Structures are given as C-alpha cells and as structure tokens.
C-alpha cells in the first residue's frame, strides 16, 4: 500500500523550490542592507514558552498546537510561530548585553493544526524578522520599510501597508472595557468562539473571520479614541515618516494581530492579488514580551510572512522559475566518459551547472536527455574527437556548433561560451 504525506503537510518539489530559493536569496540581500543577521532556532520548544509568549486565550494555544510529552514526561510543542523562540534565544544567550539594537531574520517550518486551504497548511514555512532594543518609532518605520522593500524587490504587485495602533498597558484597558460593553449588548449574534473571547479577551473578536461577527466589528468602538498621548504621538510619527519615505499605507482601526503580545504599532502588507485572503505579511511591536519570557525590560518589534502564500503570488503573476543546466557533456566510449567526468568536476568547481549521462547511451538518447534537463549547451566528446584533440560545443537553442581544441585553455573557453 502506498504511503502518502500527512494531510496538510506537503512536499515542496524541485520545480517549486526554485521559486523558494529566489525568495530566500532576495530576503537575505534586502534584509542585510537593513542590518539584519540570520538566526536559526529549534523546531521543538517547551510548551510553556508558547503559552506564556503567545497567550493562553489565542486560537493557536487553545486549538492549533502540536503538543506532546517526551519520554521524560516534559511537555514539548512543535514551533507554531518563530517570535517566541527568537525572544527565548535572545534572552538565553544574553544578546541584550551588546548595548545595541539587535536585528535578526529567520526562515523555517512552523506547525499548526488547522483546516488546510489554499496557501495555508499544517506544516508551513515562514520568514520571520525581529528587532530588539529600541521603542523609538524610527525602528517601527525601519521594520515596515524593510518589508515593503523586500516585497517590492520581488515585484509583488499592488502592495499596501495597513497600520494601526493597539495602545499600551496604560490605555488599552479602557478600550477593552468599551469593547466588552459593546459586544455584550449583541452577544446573541456572536459566534461560539467570540462568546468565549468576550469573557477572556474581547480584543480577539476584532480578528474573527465569521461574516456575522465581522459585521458587528465594523460598528465597534475605534481604538483611536482611547489612545494615550504617548501612543498617539508614536503612531503619528510612524505615519508621518512613512509618508516622507513614500511608502504607501492606509490606516485600519479594526486591524489587530492574532497574538496577545502586540502593543502600539501593528501592521500588515496586503495585496489585491490574493482576493479575500489579502494579507501577505503581518507584525507589530511587542515591548513587554522579552521581560515576560524572563529577560530585562527591552522593547521589540517584528513581522512574519508565509512562504507558500508569497510563492503563490509570484507564480500567478509570471512564468515559474525553472532550473537550467549550463552544460551537458555527451560522451561516447569509456575514454570519453572518463574525460567527461573529469571536465564536469572542474567546471562544477568553478560554479557551472554541469551534467552528463550515467549510462552508456547513444548520442541521440543523450541529446534527448540534454533537452529534458534544459541544457543551454551540449559538449560532444567521442573517440574521434579525442584522437583529434577537439570537442564540439552545440548551442541547444540555435543548434550552432563550435569546435574547441582540447588543451589547457578548454575550461576557460567553455566558461566564456557558457557566460553568453
């Protein structure tokens, strides 16, 4: 009986992974311009990290985590998001002692038990970007600018940044009370989950996707009417700086993030090309999280985006990227095969993508293989060519052929032709 992958945990096949590689390379190039450095964190963490960091009233902790006990009885969880893990690493390794703003980027798999749908899986991959050490609004703008720059470099179409302020511990309680009063009056019209959220955390209702709840959210109190002077000034500075940098944005006073640790600036990058599921990335400021997870009182801000959704947008807007072989060496005879193996090793060592047949096939079969591999050029080597100390280089697109001498300059001449 055939064994298949677990539902919601998909294989990323070689043709698709080319697009992913392009995304990761662009991510590194752009984010390192902003001073971010790569960090890698484990897939498994103690369950209490996510309960404390994400919040026990969130859907992730209540419904979606893959949690189990190991053989020693310790409760472990497959990472459902990366921020808590990166904060844990920041605290554990005392990176706050550097005396400067620390900026990291990360990519890897996350795990959540939810209904698989287009662009959303139970094992999914995220890019995660985090910065620690300043609560100045200029860092908020820097983070948002890096996100916009990244998506713009990838040519993601119709991207707009949506922003909101979620207030702070000083002003948010009054807003939460106003929300509770408003939603209590219409409790009978709330979905079952939101009736529970009304008791535990009414702010979570604003993030509900159920149509009946969404209609009620549109008439809910506006958080902008509850911000303290500090939060209002912070939010105003972020907006003014985004305008000065010509980064397109719009305010969305109903937008909240799905995790409990966010304060003040919250944001999403949205693209019209995704239809109803318009969010490409999202994040915000989480100034109390480092202290909550055992570190000093150090502010932080970051964002995450799903690789699957990003790759889906890029595939929809253009022809998928494909792997291309620079050179296929068609060898006829044992001596020619030995020659091809040695030449391929040399060219690969110099950065060229080089292939040859592993079987003793005829020339026609080898040229068919070269086409299937998408080779740009084919080098034909047989006993006659070796005796004449020459090889034939064929352009697979134009069918033009060039004879090259076998000598110490062969690899240099090949590299010159392959660069065309």
The residue ranges of the chain whose pLDDT is under 70 are: 57, 119, 258-260, 273-277, 316-322, 420
Domains parsed from the chain with CATH numbers: 14-171+227-317 (3.30.930.10), 327-418 (3.40.50.800)
List alpha helices for 97-251, DSSP H: 137-153, 172-185, 192-200, 211-217, 229-244
Bridge partners (DSSP) of residue 269 are 161, 281
Enter the tokens of residue 333.
Answer: 């005879």
**Dist. CA 159–CA 148, nearest whole Å:** 8
Q: What is the DSSP letter of 82?
A: S
pLDDT computed for residue 61 by the predictor: 83
List own/partner pairs for 395-404 with CB under 8 A and 24 or more apart.
Answer: 396/328, 396/370, 396/371
**Dist. CA 298–CA 318, nearest whole Å:** 43
pLDDT computed for residue 132 by the predictor: 97
Torsion over CA of 404, 387, 363 and 344, rounded to 10 degrees?
A: -60
**Dist. CA 143–CA 157, nearest whole Å:** 20
pLDDT computed for residue 65 by the predictor: 93
pLDDT computed for residue 258 by the predictor: 60
Question: What is the SS3 assignment for 228?
Answer: coil
pLDDT computed for residue 314 by the predictor: 83
Give per-residue pLDDT as tens, 24-54: 999 999 999 999 999 999 999 999 999 887 7
Give per-residue pLDDT as tens, 264-296: 999 999 987 655 557 889 999 999 899 999 999
């Amino acid at each position: 009986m055939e064994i298949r992958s677990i539902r919601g945990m998909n294989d990323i096949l070689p043709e698709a992974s080319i697009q992913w590689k392009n995304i990761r390379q662009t991510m590194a190039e752009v984010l390192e311009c902003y001073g971010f450095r790569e960090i890698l964190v484990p897939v498994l963490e103690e369950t209490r990290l996510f309960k404390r960091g994400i919040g026990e009233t969130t859907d992730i902790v209540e419904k979606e985590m893959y949690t189990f006990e190991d053989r020693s009885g310790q409760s472990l969880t497959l990472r459902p998001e990366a921020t808590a893990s990166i904060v844990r690493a920041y605290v554990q390794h005392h990176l706050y002692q550097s005396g400067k703003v620390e900026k990291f980027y990360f990519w890897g798999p996350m795990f959540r038990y939810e209904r698989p749908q287009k662009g959303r899986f139970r094992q999914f991959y995220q890019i995660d970007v985090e910065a620690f050490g300043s609560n100045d609004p200029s860092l908020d703008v820097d983070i948002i600018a890096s996100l916009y720059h990244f998506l713009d470099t990838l040519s993601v179409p119709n991207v707009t940044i949506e922003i909101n302020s979620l207030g702070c511990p000083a002003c948010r309680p009054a807003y939460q009370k106003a929300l509770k009063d408003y939603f209590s009056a219409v409790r009978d019209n709330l979905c079952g989950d939101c009736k529970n959220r009304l008791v535990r955390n009414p702010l979570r209702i604003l993030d509900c996707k159920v149509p009946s709840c969404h209609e009620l959210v549109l008439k809910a109190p506006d958080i902008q009417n509850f911000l303290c002077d500090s939060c209002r000034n912070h939010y105003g500075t972020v907006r003014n700086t985004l305008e000065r940098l010509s980064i397109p944005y719009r305010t969305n006073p109903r937008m909240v993030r799905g995790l409990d640790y966010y304060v003040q600036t919250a944001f999403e990058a949205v693209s019209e090309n995704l239809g109803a599921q318009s969010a490409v990335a999202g994040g915000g400021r989480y100034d109390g999280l480092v202290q909550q997870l055992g570190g000093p009182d150090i502010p932080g801000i970051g964002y995450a985006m799903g690789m699957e959704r990003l790759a889906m947008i890029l595939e929809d807007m253009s022809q998928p990227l494909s792997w291309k072989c620079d050179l296929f060496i068609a060898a006829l005879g044992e001596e020619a095969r030995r020659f091809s193996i040695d030449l391929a090793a040399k060219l690969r060592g110099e950065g060229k993508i080089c292939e040859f047949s592993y079987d003793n096939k005829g020339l026609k079969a080898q040229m068919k293989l070269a086409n299937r591999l998408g080779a740009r050029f084919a080098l034909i080597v047989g006993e006659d060519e070796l005796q004449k100390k020459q090889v034939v280089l064929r352009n697979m697109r134009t069918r033009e052929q060039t004879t090259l001498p076998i000598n110490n300059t062969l690899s240099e001449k090949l590299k010159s032709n392959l660069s065309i």
